[in-house]
Every structure is written in C-alpha cells, then in structure tokens.
Amino acid sequence: MADDSTKTAPKKLFIKTYGCQMNVYDSERMAEALSAEGYVTTENADEADMVLLNTCHIREKAAEKVYSDLGRLRPLKEARPGLKIGVAGCVAQAEGEEILNRMPLVDLVVGPQSYHRLPDMARAAAEGRKTVDTDFPAEDKFDHLPAREKPARGPSAFLTVQEGCDKFCAFCVVPYTRGVEVSRPAERILSEARGLVDRGVRELTLLGQNVNAYHGHPGGLGGLVRDLAAIEGLARIRYTTSHPNDMDDGLIAAHGDEPKLMPYLHLPVQSGSDRILKAMNRKHTAEAYLRLVERIRAARPDILLTSDFIVGFPGETEADFQATMDLVRSVGFGAAFSFKYSARPGTPAAERAAVPGAEADDRLQRLQALLTEQQRATQQAMVGREVSVLIEKPGRMAGQMVGKSDYLHAVHVTHPKAKPGVIGRVRISASGPNSLAGIWLDS
C-alpha cells in the first residue's frame, strides 16, 4: 500500500465577503485562483492559513469597518505568525498602501481588477514579502483565472458579465474603485454558463455594476439573455444592477417574450426630484423613469419592480423628498433599498453641505414606512396565486424547504419532492414579513 504520510496537507483559506453580489462572485473566483496554490476554503478563520477580507466601499465608514475587523484578527496573527492576511476589493483599491501603513499585520492588498494575480501575491507572502496591486491592468483578469472547478454547485449562481461604470453619479465611488465599463465577450460567458449548468445550476443571475450597459454581444444584454436561454438545463435568468438610461428596446422586449427571463427587475432611481437627480448626475428625469416603467410593464405586465433610494442628498428639501414619495406611490414597488446619504471621499457630492442628520433620519423613516407598506401589499397579493419555485436549501423547521419564486420572493414549502434544484408549482398560502409560505402542487 502506498504511504500517504508524505502528502502535503492542504492550506486553508477563509474569505469574508462584504457588500454586493459581485463581491460574492469575486470571492468565489479568488478561492478558485488560490486553489492552484493548494488552498481549500474553510468557514472558520481560526483554522485558516490565509484570511482574505473582500471589501465594499459604498457605505460611509466602510474602510473603518475593515480596519476594525483587521484589529480583531491581530490576536490570531500573534498566536500564529505564519497566518497570511489579505485585503481585497474596493476598500483595497481606495486605500492601497495606507492599509499596510496602518495595519502591518496585512500581507497583501489587491484591488478588484487584479485578483487574478493572487497566486503570485500568495507566493510572495509565503516568502515574507508584502505586496500591493491596485492597478487597472491591461490584461483581462478573466483570461488569467483558472477554469472553474467541476464539483456540484447549488441550484443558483452569480455570473459577472460586466464591470465598472462610466456614469459618474456624484455620490458613487464605483468608477474610481472598479474602473470604466468593460464587458466580457459573450462566448466566454456562455462557456462559463454551460459549465455551471453542467454542475447543477438551474438559475443564473448576471452581474455588473451597470449590467444593462453590457456590450459584449451584438444584441446587448437582451441578445446575451436570449443566447443563454438556449442552454439546455438552464431554467431561469436574472440580472442586476441596472441603470434606467441603458434599458434598451431589445432588453425590454426580452422581458416580454423570453420565458426564462424572470419577471423581476431591480431598476434604481435614487430620487423622484428632477433637481436632485441633476445634482446626482443621474442624467434622467423622474418623468423619463415613469415612462420607462410603463414600457417595461407593457412588455411584461406582471413584472415586479424594485429600486434604490437615497434621502438627505446635499441640497434636498422637503419638496424634493415629497417628489420621491410621489414617485414611489406612482410606481408601486415590490421592494426597495433605501439609505441616508453617505458622503464618500473623493466624490463630487462629498464637498457639498449635508442635510441635517435629524431631517435625513426623519425622511428615511417616512420613506421606509411607505416602501414597507408596498412590499407587504405586494406579498399579500401573492396569496392564492400559483408560482414557480426553485428549491434551494432546507428551512429552519423539520421537513421544510426554502426556494425562490419567479418574483424572487423566498417561499417556504413542506413536501417530500421539494428538494434542492427542483422547480415546482406552488400555491401561496400565507405572507410573512419577508417571505411567503406555499403548498407544493406538483405530484
């Protein structure tokens, strides 16, 4: 019998992911890149040989949160000096060398466009050399990442198709941390999608900072959706996050005539006031947004719309805020994310006078109350309807499973045939604060 005693034990990698779905995707690809160096992922930082913090820079004090988390890692590093610590993502891009200056325990800093270079950086760290890579390299990182591994996957997966943003909204750091808009070639996306489907994926969510600006296919994002829909075994397609100015006719038409494109659309508007939209550099008006919603609903009447809102943007008055409330009432959103304005250093709006905190807090509470009312009404209207549900994982109760409806609602069901990866018809029987309950109909 062969002696396995000389085999090298795999190194363990712990990744903490902050922020958006694109960071979730990036963390997966970072883990795959480091697998070439012998790393396997772990859910326990205490047993890791490398800890990576994949960071987000959208909200206020994002960098300070990262430094706080690094401080909590200090005792672990002191107990195990061989532990390697890295900071990745948008805070890494924004802070760069300053991270090493403030936190000498960090071994590597890598921006979101350079993580294909992680294997080289890991080797340097093993040799005791600290590295920082926050370039926007000429090469496409996706060309240098390893082919995706073959183990089975869960039924849903993210797939990045576009990165960066050219819109330069006055409040947003994305153009500075993620760079200009870049689209991946369609054939590479289709190849990666086929590989994911071969591993058990039934639903793909296409990702981009401005995903509907995708131009790697002659038909834009709508054309890519149609080609993806032709993949046998792929049952559902979604995409996020979109800009109103890039909802072209082809994509709107796809919502109407491509059944695999789910009836759900996240379409951030940010404000209902034209004056504030102009100050935000959004390059659309409230009226243009409302007419766009009409066109989308004409193509797909049952589509569920969600959005993003910022209140308390510099210069916002009560009249501006009421214009936002009016827009919300006009559209009727199924759900939404709403935030108090958060100044991001280096953005144009950061230099402007802030709305007093108490006023911004009051407006946020009033907006969230209205959005919650609409969300609950949308969910309550689902009771009695039949929907398609993709089962993803066990629920908290014995025998219960949780899946996603066509409209992205979490749905709880109890039935022996409701297993991960199965799509079944479900009659909604009850609505809770953030989920639905249903009765499995498929025999």
Q: Under a CB-based contact definition with an 8 Å cutoff, are residues 400 and 394 in contact?
A: yes
Cα 229 from chain centroid?
21
User: From CA 155, how far away is CA 230, in angstroms rounded?
Assistant: 18
User: From CA 325, how far away is CA 318, in angstroms rounded?
Assistant: 10
137 is in an annotated binding site: no
Q: Report how far apart, in Å, the C-alpha atoms of 311 and of each of 156, 270, 340 are.
A: 33, 8, 5
DSSP of 113-130, one letter per residue?
T-GGGHHHHHHHHHTT--
Q: Under a CB-based contact definition with an 8 Å cutoff, are residues 213 and 241 in contact?
A: no
Copy the structure tokens of residue 292.
Answer: 């766009």
86 is in an annotated binding site: no
DSSP of 150-183, one letter per residue?
-S---SEEEEE-EE--S---TT--HHHHT-S-EE
279 is in an annotated binding site: no
20 is in an annotated binding site: yes
- Nearest residue to 343 via CA among 352, 334, 330: 352
Tell me if residue 58 falls in helix, strand or coil. Answer: coil
90 is in an annotated binding site: yes
165 is in an annotated binding site: yes
Tell me if residue 291 falls in helix, strand or coil. Answer: helix
Binding residues: 20, 56, 90, 165, 169, 172
Annotated binding-site residues for [4Fe-4S] cluster read 20, 56, 90, 165, 169, 172
